[in-house]
Structure 1
Amino acid sequence: MPKANRLLPSFVRHLPPAQGRTLRRNLLFVSITLSMIGLLSLMSDAFAAGGAYVVDDAGINAPGECNVDVWYQDARHSPNSSSVVSPACTFKELPTVQLGAAIQRNRADGQGETQLSPQFKAQLFSREDLGLQLALAGSTHFAFDRAHSFDGADLNLPITWQPFEALRLNLNTGWTHAYDDGEQNHRWTWGTGVEYDLARSLTLIAERYGQRGGEQAWQAGPRLHIGERIDVDLIVGRSLIGERDQWLTTGATLRF
């Protein structure tokens, strides 16, 4: 038996090959994430951010500040997975606009695809006394691994209302243009989300989102605040159409 296999716990060695590979990928991602947290916590300040959640809030980084989101999503009953790195910054010269990009690597049915998505979010309205914020967000998507690289675009209008300090309510409405197996589709999108600060180090988040005539799903989980520098998300999600696929997501957010 190879030395690497002898080092694995016995229950891992007795799993079916596909489940064993999935578990090893998850353990590797968690190890890398924790290592990044340990390193980056020495040099950055982090606060809450959108991360792997689909429903966006209306907040942006303060001028001169940046954030980086990383997450790994794994389907529970299939070999499909995705890994994402998404940096974003608000420059002092454009204090009401946040610019960023997401690099996403998807694997489905044994095939891999890499996608680049430039993004922006412009704050249109902010009243701290009312606890209300309004923004306009957009992104475009380009696939690297096929002849037709342009994959679609999105526009979204996020609204955030904070009725009291511990509770934030997010509402999204928007439009998406996508190529689905060569067919162009235009759909209205929507989403609702809630964030509740249960403790100083713990926020509970839940969301429900969908597209008219397309995707419908929910996600929920805790957001752990490690000091004031790093946030870690543990998320479970489920589709509400088709075979009702389920997935697990682990992610981290940092700001500097």
Structure 2
Amino acid sequence: MAMTRLCRLLLLLPTLCPMLAMAARPMITDDARVVDPNSCQLESWAKHNRDSTEYWVLPGCSPRENLELTLGGAVTRQDGESQNSDLMLQAKLLFKQLETNSYGYGLVVGHAQHPRLDNNSSMIGNTYAYIPVSASFFSDKLILHTNLGALHDKENNRTDMTWGLGSEIPLANKLDLIAETYGDHRSRPYYQAGLRYWLVPERVQIDTTYGNRMHNNSDERWLSIGLRLLSAPLW
């Protein structure tokens, strides 16, 4: 019964919160945190690339302690037209919660569907897994996140090793500086940096970031703006 309610919440959250069509989850490097048990969140963002804009919505819920399930996707607008571009299903399990002046770690597995590069109407799938590790220093004045994992590219029938390194640094009472770099073992890494602000502590958060590929002047740069909502326990 609890899982049935969870699935319904995951499917209904985007329709219950239409104002989130232009919002963002800022960091690609994941953290060793999950939402509170029996609670949900909605991470969403608009990412403006050089030739397109992506609108993402990722609702997630915690059916029990230390477990978070996410189901969502994106719509991309390019050349004046919109189309479905991505679908994602992910599960995160924590083995140790992140605490002040300590560390946490877990396991994430997921599957993402993407459009084919040749404009074929069919979708291709990538399956991935990684280990998120987070550590707190100086009473949460610095929090570091690392990811190490793998992604299987179905279309090219290959597996890439993936990695990420991110940081959170409080600048003021409700304002954080965030920065990260991430990539895989086959190509130049990406970087991203920005600000995160709590409009309502522990409930409503906004953010904005700028990113690009290392040693790239402009072709792959992007800007994002995002909104994150967290609920009180729902069941």
Equivalent position to 1:249, from 214, 220, 224: 224
Cross-structure match for 1:223: 196
Could you tell me which amino acid in structure 2 is paired with residue 217 of structure 1? Answer: Y
Question: Retained in 2: the 8 A contact 1:194–1:206?
Answer: yes
Cross-structure match for 2:76: 106
Cross-structure match for 1:6: none
RMSD: 2.4
How many pairs are equivalent? 204
CA spacing shift, 1:60–1:196, aligned 2, 3 Å = same
- Residue 53 of structure 1 and its aligned partner are, at CA, apart by 1.3
* TM-score, structure 1 as length reference: 0.72
* TM-score, structure 2 as length reference: 0.78
CA spacing shift, 1:191–1:225, aligned 2, 3 Å = same
What secondary structure does 1:209 align onto? strand
What secondary structure does 1:254 align onto? strand
Cross-structure match for 2:86: 115
**Structure-2 separation of matches of 1:219 and 1:159:** 19
Pair 1:204 & 2:177 matched:
yes
Cross-structure match for 1:83: 55
**Structure-2 separation of matches of 1:130 and 1:250:** 30
Task: Flag structure 1 segments of 5+ consecutive residues without an equivalent.
Answer: 1-34, 38-49
Cross-structure match for 1:240: 214
Pair 1:66 & 2:40 matched:
yes
Equivalent position to 1:137, from 98, 102, 108: 108
| Identity within the alignment, % | 25
CA spacing shift, 1:113–1:241, aligned 2, 3 Å = farther
**Structure-1 separation of matches of 2:79 and 2:152:** 24
Task: Flag structure 2 segments of 5+ consecutive residues without an equivalent.
Answer: 1-17
Q: Whose helix proportion is higher, 1 or 2?
A: 1
Cross-structure match for 1:153: 127
- Residue 207 of structure 1 and its aligned partner are, at CA, apart by 0.2
Cross-structure match for 1:4: none
Residue-by-residue CA offset, 1:22-71 (whole Å, 9 max, x unaligned): xxxxxxxxxxxxx948xxxxxxxxxxxx9231000011111111110110
Question: Retained in 1: the 8 A contact 2:101–2:140?
Answer: no
**Structure-1 separation of matches of 2:164 and 2:101:** 22
Pair 1:53 & 2:30 matched:
no
Bigger-Rg structure (1/2): 1
